[in-house]
Structure 1
Amino acid sequence: MDSMKLKLFFSCWDKDLFIGGTYTSAEAMQWAMAELLNHPEAFQKVRKEIELVTGNGRLVDESDVPNMPYLQAVVKETLRLYPPGPVTTRECRQHCKINGFDVPPKTAVAINLYAIMRDPDSWDHPNEFLPERFLQEQDEDSSDGKRTKFNFVPFGGGRRGCPGTALAFSLMNTAVAAMVQCFDWKIGEDGKGEKVNMQSGSGMSLSMLHPLICVPVVHFNPYDV
């Protein structure tokens, strides 16, 4: 590969990483905060968990996340309901039959991740925001991890899963935690809104049809401690 082709290759790779690793994560964090604002009891549970771990004497850190199971459950539940890439594609490696249809090898197949993670055969109350389901899963399925294999696939699964999965989880957990720890949030431009509109928009990624607009009110300033 000559220098020009190599430069073009890395330029395209950097662009994919930048777009795939920032815009989708930002959208997912908007959904997380929107659900927390619409479920104030969940918001308070996250805040209390953060205060318990940090002693409310410092800003929450990435190293704190493993000690915050409810925060992690909120992030997972958000990604279950609003996967950044609701549809992914794969190439069929061998002949198979799906719902009575013959699919030959080399066929491009679209996989509806959104539908998989809202399938009532796999999830109780699939359209409801219930972070507790992932806490129960840790107790019931920790031995075999059956839930996370092919039912929970916000970043795809297997060897072709998103390489940025760990980074996305880390970013979402720490960012959402900091926003919950440091601010109270009033809905709407005037801070007088009651509920966030959860209607989704159209496009390759799952964005909010109506952008999340809130007024932040300082709750905890880590720089004043």
Structure 2
Amino acid sequence: MITTNLLKNVTSKTPKLFMSTSAESIAFEKKLEHYRNLNAADTADTKPPGWDEAKPFKSIPGPRSFPLVGNIWRLMLPLFRGQDILEVHKGLYKEFGDIFVLKGMAGSWIKEIVTLYNPKDFETLARNEGVWPIRKNQPSLDYYQKIRTNLFSGIALVGQQREDWFKFRTIVNPIMMQPKNIAQYTDKMNLVADELVENIKYLATQNKDGEMPSDFKNELYKWALESVAVVTLDTHLGCLKQGLKPDAEPEKMIYSATQFFDLMYKLDILPSVWKLVSTKDWKKFVGVLDFMIQTNIKYINRALDKLEKEEVDTENEIKSVLQQLLKKDRKVAISMAISMMVAGIDTTGRVLGAGLYFLAKNPDKQIKLREEAISLLKTKETPITKEVLAKAPYLRAVVKEVTRLAPIGIGNFRTTVKDIILGGYQIPKGTDVLTSNLILCSMDEHYPKAKEFLPERWLTTTSPELSHKSANPFVFAPFGHGSRSCIGRRLANLELHVAFLKMIRNFDMRWEHEDMTFATTTLYGIAKPLKLRVKPLDQ
């Protein structure tokens, strides 16, 4: 058990790092008051036009929910539609159409979810989410934060709502959502990607066919952890050092990150009595988070020490995310740093793995990307810069196509802040709603040849028949929509752009196995060993 606050206290020597000026505070209070008024108007008890003509909520179709087990049995018994969440949704969409209510899919967390399959409803939901959108947090993570209040000292990790969320994003957005600010980390990403390339060269020599080992995905997670650490904390963890022992800190961090999402699925989606009894999964969940957060706090404290001792050239050095945020608000800075380190491993690593699979499976697309890479990087050792990335449209198209086919989530989740009409039905304020983006992204009516890996659909030179512009813009949303979209999306894209370009410039990749299986728990992604056959290029 953690009984003391592990975060370093801020000394009186450096108050300037953690205070806003009075002028900034006054400006923020005016902005906050303005948004309070907007939120009051958003959430007022008024009915939208056509409300009385819309069909009542209780008439929305949906599968029968059984006592005690609800609909969760669909994920547990292979004979009933299959175990995977995505397959369950596909079957229900075929049975009930564009809108249905799914009851009893997450224990007591979510009583019922209105599930949408019509892009027009996606748009209606997005345009009516208000200035302070609500996205419920996982109850296991909420409860963990409550029992660890002395560890966090009032710092929330994720899941803030309303004014708390608004304050957090107001501070973080200028740093995390500005393209120019994120682009400054390209050099750091380049160095981490170089380490990944060297490791893959070594792994290719361990098998005469150059096939990657069954645990190759772990190598991608090391890359993701190292990438987020150098940007967030300006710390090189050494994740990609060869010969790391299983009990090495980076290995334990990666294991903990993957377990974190798997355990949330077991605790919050599958039936569990962890709220009543301290189950084995709950104890493991607490242990995993304790380790990850204590490890992060160790590195955060080191960064704070550097700042307090004035060891950082605050004028000329490229500042880490933590350093930039500390100038605005200490609690927000630490919260953001920990959240990025917890959530930025399994997520980005999954997308890179899926992308390498798609490129290996589609040699013609791999060749096209390599031609672009060679035109920009004259040698395999040429560093990637922000100027290089600005001239790589096919690379950007590849990443978009990967996230169309294999985003980390099957859809976007919101709780309505006011009464709205979806699919011709009355949807009361406070209703949980899921947009099923991934299923629509794989349908030809939205993306021609939807099952095919076609980065060309994202190029401006593509014919109108194939172009993504023919699809409703609310269908493709791998990072969400609006003000509550993923705060780390620009950083994630930078990581992926650099890694894909480095990989394709250094290796020819082939996939000589049966098609990859994708599966859904808390996250969506590849579910079998990524046994790519890799051949280093001569030049």
Could you list the runs of 5+ residues in structure 2 that have no partner in the other structure?
A: 1-8, 10-149, 158-292, 294-334
Give yes or no for the alignment of 1:109 onto 2:433: yes
CA distance in 2, matches of 1:19, 1:122: 34
1:43-62 mapped onto 2 (5 Å cutoff) = 43-56=366-379, 58-62=381-385
The one-character-per-residue Cα deviations of 1:13-56 (angstroms, maximum 9, x if unpaired) are 54432232221111111111111111101101111101101223
Of 204-213 and 70-79, more deviation after overlay is shown by 204-213
Partner in structure 1 of residue 497 of structure 2:
173
* 1:66 to 1:172, Cα distance in 2 relative to 1, 3 A: same
Aligned CA-pair RMSD: 2.6
Which amino acid letter does the alignment assign opposite residue 199 of structure 1? T
CA distance in 2, matches of 1:201, 1:102: 33
Q: 1:197 aligned to 515, 518, 527, which one?
A: 515
Of 5-14 and 25-34, more deviation after overlay is shown by 5-14
Of 51-60 and 81-90, more deviation after overlay is shown by 51-60
CA distance in 1, matches of 2:440, 2:339: 25
CA distance in 1, matches of 2:510, 2:358: 13
Give yes or no for the alignment of 1:212 onto 2:530: yes
Deviation at 1:133, TM superposition (A): 0.4
CA distance in 2, matches of 1:7, 1:211: 41
CA distance in 2, matches of 1:19, 1:148: 33
1:139-158 mapped onto 2 (5 Å cutoff) = 149-158=473-482
The one-character-per-residue Cα deviations of 1:102-150 (angstroms, maximum 9, x if unpaired) are 210111212222124234333212222111000147887xxxx896842
The one-character-per-residue Cα deviations of 1:174-216 (angstroms, maximum 9, x if unpaired) are 10111111122344xxxxxx24623212311112121211243
1:30-69 mapped onto 2 (5 Å cutoff) = 30-56=353-379, 58-63=381-386, 64-69=388-393
* 1:119 to 1:94, Cα distance in 2 relative to 1, 3 A: farther
* 1:15 to 1:133, Cα distance in 2 relative to 1, 3 A: same
Three-state SS of the structure 1 residue aligned to 2:373 is: helix
Three-state SS of the structure 2 residue aligned to 1:51 is: helix
Partner in structure 2 of residue 191 of structure 1:
none
Which amino acid letter does the alignment assign opposite residue 112 of structure 1? S
Partner in structure 1 of residue 344 of structure 2:
21
Which amino acid letter does the alignment assign opposite residue 128 of structure 1? E
CA distance in 2, matches of 1:94, 1:35: 41
Three-state SS of the structure 1 residue aligned to 2:430 is: coil
CA distance in 2, matches of 1:196, 1:54: 33
Whether the 8 Å CA contact 2:441–2:475 is kept in 1: the answer is yes
Whether the 8 Å CA contact 1:197–1:210 is kept in 2: the answer is no
Three-state SS of the structure 2 residue aligned to 1:97 is: strand
CA distance in 1, matches of 2:389, 2:338: 29
The one-character-per-residue Cα deviations of 1:45-93 (angstroms, maximum 9, x if unpaired) are 1111011012236335142112111111111001011111223311112
CA distance in 2, matches of 1:77, 1:55: 26
Which amino acid letter does the alignment assign opposite residue 404 of structure 2? R
Q: Which is higher, the Rg of structure 1 or of structure 2?
A: 2
* 1:59 to 1:137, Cα distance in 2 relative to 1, 3 A: same
